[in-house]
Amino acid sequence: MNSMPSLLVREQAILLNLGSLRAIAMHERVLIFNYNSPGGKVFLELLRPRLNPRNINGGPAMPFQLEVVEAALLSRIQRLERRLMHVEPRVATLLEVLPNRLTGDVLEQLRLSKQSLVELGSRAGDLKQMLIDLLEDPHEIRRICIMGRNCTLDKVSDDMECSVPLEKQVAEEEEEEIEMLLENYLQRCESCHGQAERLLDSAREMEDSIAVNLSSRRLEVSRVELLLQVGTFCVAVGALIAGIFGMNLKSYLENNTWGISADAGAAWPVANPAVTCADVAEAGSPSSFVASPFLFLQGDAIYMFFETKNPVTSQGDIAAAVYMMPESSKNGDLRLYRALDFPLKWTLEKVLLEKPLVDSAIINFRGSYWLLGSDLSSYGAKQNGELSIWYSSSPLAPWNPHRHNTIGSMDNGSSFRNGGRPFVYDGDLYRIGKQSGGVSGHSIKVFKVEILTANEYKEIEVPFVFDKPRKGRNAWNGARSHHLDVQWLPSSQLWIGVMDGDRVPSNDSVHRLTIGYMFYGVTLLLVLLLGGLIGAIRCTIPLRWCAPHIEKRGDFVHSKQQFFLKYKLSSLFSSLNKLGSLLGGRINYRTWKGRVYVVLVILVLIFLTCLGTHCIYGGNGAEEPYPIKGRYSQFTLLTMTYDARLWNLKMFVEHYSKCASVREIVVIWNKGRPPVLNELKSAVPVRVRVEDKNTLNNRFNIDEKIKTRAVMELDDDIMMPCDDLERGFKVWREHPDRIVGYYPRLAAGTPLEYRNERYARQQGGYNMILTGAAFMDHGLAFERYWSKKAEVGRKMVDSFFNCEDVLLNFLFANASSMSMVEYVKPAWAIDMSKFSGVAISRNTQAHYHVRSKCLAKFSEVYGNLSAKRLFSSRGDDWDV
């Protein structure tokens, strides 16, 4: 089918092709093709009224074929005008909101409107051209006029010749009418075509403006991206520097002292570690670790010397000895120093060996001095695992090598490298070795030396009983220990020992930084790949960029290499464009499926970024205790339960036994069959204390088996992080005469009324701490609870099966005029009883009513509670 509009005049018919309207008009009838099409229906609606004689209004009737032609032109023009009226206001609206409102929907509407205008302008232009062609060809118009008449056209002059003169006159008049008719429709068509072109030009200008606007925004985004990349790089460099040197920063949260005081910070018992790198800060030198301790006895004094790594100089420094042999392997020798003013002033006495020895030790055994160490001049694994021996008659005399040097290597997993000084026990020599596990080993082994002569050496491993830490990184030696030193105390006839330890493996911070930046790198790589993929889909590289430009034949001869390069680039760009088209056909991120993929990719990027951030800034994963004056301590955890809550108890013990300062867990068993200890998975000793009577007073029973001053009473259905326990324990050590807990209450009013924590916060203070989660001095608290004065209160506790914590608060309040409670806000706490259905106090209102009765009775017997203590009054931001 011909898509161009046409009007062809034949001898007995007029052929019409106006898009969806195709017809053959004859003198008395018209044949319509596809009369059910939109164009055919409109044509019939316009033609039928014209054929009705009543619509002529007394004027002369036009020939049938002219009525058909006019109806066809009118239907076509009206359809174009209606489409223009539909598109014009839509385009005007878009031109008003653009370019300020750049959204996907608005841009899509602009594209569709522009497409409609292009189609409308094309159709109006084609119809306009057809009408112009007809007006410029009078022959065709005259052929229409003579159709159905006894007239002909002169082939030479093209004049009409009719057999009846009147018909010629009528035909000439019709010719003028047809020209006027065609000119009328031509004007309407030109108006429609001109308006469509003007709107199209406006849309194109708007597109250009949008392109400029988007280019400006892209430049702004690129600038912001560049700034963010520079900022990210600066932050990364800062994080790297902080990761390397941050451990050198002095912490003002700790008041470091070198003396060990049993009363300092309620440190009873004093817990490991005894010395940390934070303590060394007082010596005026930064420290990243302390290791390799040695004991030295002088009179009644015990000195401990140890190695500390200076992260600035990356060397080890020794704290003291009478004759001291510090590690100097970086100098390539082994040196002996003598104390000038023990233990602080030393001088170089002699270079013993010109070898880079590490972990060296000298011992006098059976009349000879023996030097045992590892020679770093070897290569590979042997460098950290070999044992070499020298012997001499005096530490200052020449040293002779053993006949079988090197004695052994760690290649077979044995512990040949020294892990401390050898010692003599019952006349036999024992050597301490470190088990293979990196540069400094990860555990200690002990060997009995059976033969030690200048020509032979033989040792066998002996059992070494040492409880391995089961608290993981929460234990001070959870990751490794690589040095042990033992000494015999003649005055007390006891052996004492010191051991180093670390919560994390060697180079943990570097490892975390490396992993973190690897995650960042993978994220950046994915972003670049995603950007490249989107660019390949949405962008097309113009091939004209690489089209060879040759003006003369001689240019081609002289630019052959350049021509070949441009040809290769053109082929590459063509392949990339094909790849983009292929990917665009398979990946469409505008569909719901594509959007799901985009969301998944974004979630993966966020996840990788979070992992990288956690590795770099999330710490080493250990919930470490908080020291008081450089000292650590431990507490006993008490919980009261019965057989229906055994599943709670199992989770309770497994979780809290890994907390760093928990020394023992005591389970107060009130009712039912007590659990077997192997049912409870614990990292610390667990003791089940079975009570004869089911009473809440059992919570505060005096227990002489408790080995710590501090106890924490904690309900078995409360779960909170270990760090919350450590913070509460630190606050209690600062105030050991008080109740320190996590659930504050304010008893106020006349009479006193028990209310929840929300009321206390509304009033801005508290005067009670619930002992379901609280630290206290068990000697002080339990004696007060079982005093004669508290007998009335204990009977009420048995009567109501409630209020034991309220009673203890009254007893503490009456022991001093000061506030005897301290609050610590937990990071989070979960009440597991809500998931079990075995909560002790399921009816909250009834529970509060009973406690209000207790408050009224206790206030009559013991007086009032202490004055309200304000939140945020302690200054550590833990009581907000």
Write out the catalytic residue numbers. Answer: 805
Task: Find out whether 18 and 9 touch, Cβ atoms under 8 Å.
Answer: no
Measure the CA angle with vertex 773, ends 767 and 776; round to 5°. Answer: 75
Name all contacts of 535-541 with Cβ < 8 Å and 24+ positions apart.
536/576, 536/579, 536/580, 536/583, 537/580, 537/583, 537/584, 537/587, 538/580, 538/584, 539/580, 540/577, 540/580, 541/573, 541/576, 541/577
Tokens of 433: 């070795």
Tokens of 466: 């040492």
Q: Which two tokens stand for residue 370?
A: 């023996």
Task: List, as one string, the DSSP characters of 180-223.
Answer: HHHHHHHHHHHHHHHHHHHHHHHHHHHHHHHHHHHHHHHHHHHH
SS3 call for 450:
strand
Q: Any residues with CB less than 8 A from the CB of 721 and at least 6 apart, and which?
A: 623, 826, 827, 828
Asked if 717 and 656 touch (Cβ cutoff 8 Å), the reply is no
Angle at CA 162, nearest 5°, toward 160 and 163? Answer: 160
Give which of 235, 234, 236, 274 is closest to 258, Cα–Cα.
274
User: DSSP H helical segments within 246-256, as ranges?
Assistant: none
Which helix or strand (DSSP H or E) is residue 348 part of? strand 345-353
Which H or E element spans position 669? Answer: strand 662-669
Q: Are 519 and 606 in contact (CB under 8 A)?
A: no
Residue 694 burial (CB count, 10 A):
13
Distances (CA, A) of 60 to 142, 164, 745, 824: 19, 19, 108, 108
The closest alpha carbon to 415, from 391, 440, 389, 451, belongs to: 440
Tokens 């112009």 correspond to 132
In the chain, DSSP finds a helix count (H) and a strand count (E) of 17, 37
H/E run at residue 724: helix 722-734
The residue length of the chain stands at: 880
